[in-house]
Chain A
Amino acid sequence: MENNKRYDNHLELLGWAIGGKWGIERYLYTLHRITGVGILLFFVIHIFASSGRVFGPESWKVTMIVLQNPVFKIGEAFVFIGFAFHALNGIRLILIELGFMVGKPEQPVYPYQSSLDVQRSLRIAVMVIAGIIIVVGGIDIFFLA
């Protein structure tokens, strides 16, 4: 009962999609979590795959032949996209958490100024930077590598 009261409003995973009318902030939150879990999953596999280099060049060559499969190429692109988004959005979250880019405290005089409006420029800036990094990474992964 006490547990129910503590989490009175929780929607579990559904809250990631419909947890409030907070606009883009809610979807950045959701994407941050999805990319975070995806990167962690990849990271666990990556630790074992790259640790294979201790078995020497022949073993590494076999690993590289497996990784040349187009599925892994697309996977690499997804990891890169996830990294670029998660890293830039993470920096935005840390800046806001530390009190940067949220505007100065003001008297609550109508029309009220939401700190979410003040953060819009930071949000746009980090997404543009993430977008540029993703495009550059995509060119390298698919056309230059």
Chain B
Amino acid sequence: MNKSGSWIFFIIAGVVIFVLLGLHMMIQHLDGILGIFNPAGGSALDWDNVIYRSKSGFFTFTYIILLAAALYHGFYGLRTIVFEMGPRKQVERVWTAFFWAVGIVLFIVGTYAAIAVRTVETAL
């Protein structure tokens, strides 16, 4: 992908994060005020609420999309900062490969968890 193409993806990923992370923050950190998607009441981190969202197809799908968008946006941003330090071209390529490798590993871990949790026993 050329430079402007990857930059446009960075911006699109930012907008996707704005929407999905906005929802995530409302559910997780404004649970006392809003209490949305927490059917068992109480904290958003109570197991019953966590497993309710984890088993929902909508949340599984959006978690994976958010994971991909946030990893891409985050590591692209970090790469930009590193590149501004003025490394040589060869070193830039090593950084790019490194960030891709770390991002892919994290994506696999997060995606595995988002899918595997759907088969976990719900009872505490």
Binding site for B on A (CB under 8 A): 3, 6-7, 10, 12-13, 33, 36-37, 39-40, 43-44, 47-48, 50-51, 53-54, 56-57, 60-61, 64, 67, 76, 80, 83, 87, 90-91, 94, 97, 136-137, 139-141, 143-145
Question: Interface majority SS on B: helix, strand, loop or mixed?
Answer: helix
Q: Which 3 A-B pairs have the closest CB atoms?
A: A144-B32, A51-B113, A40-B74
Q: In the complex, are the beta carbons of B117 and A145 less than 8 A apart?
A: no
Instruction: Answer whether residue B86 sits at the interface, using C-beta atoms and an 8 A cutoff.
Output: yes
A residues in contact with B109, CB < 8 Å: 47-48, 51
Q: Among B15, B88, B120, which residue has its beta carbon within 8 angstroms of that of A53?
A: B120
Q: How many residues on chain B are close to A (CB under 8 Å)?
A: 42
**Residues of chain A with a CB closer than 8 A to B116's CB:** 54
- Of A6, A10, A36, A91, chain B has the most CB atoms within 10 Å of the CB of A36
What's the least CB distance linking B86 to chain A, in Å?
4
Task: List 17 additional contacts besides A43-B70, A56-B121; criterion CB under 8 Å.
Answer: A10-B84, A36-B74, A36-B77, A40-B75, A43-B74, A47-B109, A48-B109, A53-B117, A54-B116, A61-B124, A90-B14, A94-B11, A137-B25, A140-B29, A140-B32, A145-B31, A145-B43
- Docked complex Cα distance between A67 and B43 (Å): 13
Does B75 contact A94, Cβ atoms closer than 8 Å? no
A138 to chain B, nearest CB (A): 10
28 A-B pairs in the complex with CB atoms less than 8 angstroms apart: A10-B84, A12-B85, A12-B86, A33-B77, A36-B74, A37-B78, A40-B75, A43-B70, A47-B67, A47-B109, A51-B112, A53-B50, A53-B117, A53-B120, A54-B113, A57-B121, A57-B124, A67-B45, A76-B29, A87-B17, A87-B21, A94-B15, A136-B30, A136-B33, A140-B29, A140-B32, A140-B33, A143-B32
